[in-house]
Amino acid sequence: MGSIHPLALVSPQARVGPGCVIGPFCVVEADVELGPGCVLESHVVIKQGSRVGANNHFHEGAIIGGTPQHVRHAGPFGTVEIGSGNTIREHVTIHRALHPGDCTRVGNNNYLMINVHIAHDCQVGSQTIMANNVMLAGHVSVEDGAYLSGAVAVHQYCRIGTLAMVGGQAHVNKDVPPFVTVDGLSSLVVGLNTIGLRRHGFSTQEIALLKQAYRLIYCSGLSWEELLRELKAQFPQEPACRFWQFLEGSSRGILNQRRVPRTTTIRLPQPETDQTQRRMAG
Provide the annotated active-site residues.
120-121, 138
Q: Say if strands 188-192 and 180-183 run parallel, antiparallel, or are unpaired.
A: antiparallel
Q: Let me know: does 138 contact 158? Beta carbons within 8 Å.
A: no
- Measured CA angle at 100 (ends 98, 103), to 5 deg: 65
Helix/strand/coil for 87: strand
Rounded Cα distance, 20 and 36, in Å: 6
Q: Which residues of 218-244 are buried (b: 16+ CB within 10 A; e: fewer)?
A: beeeeeeeebbebbeeebeeebbbbbb
Assess whether the previous peptide bond of 239 is cis (omega < 30° from 0): yes
Phi, psi dihedral angles at 187 (to 5 degrees): 60, 35
Closest of 92, 202, 200 to residue 146, by C-alpha: 200
What would the 3-class secondary structure string for 99-121 be? CCCCEEEECCCCEECCCCEECCC
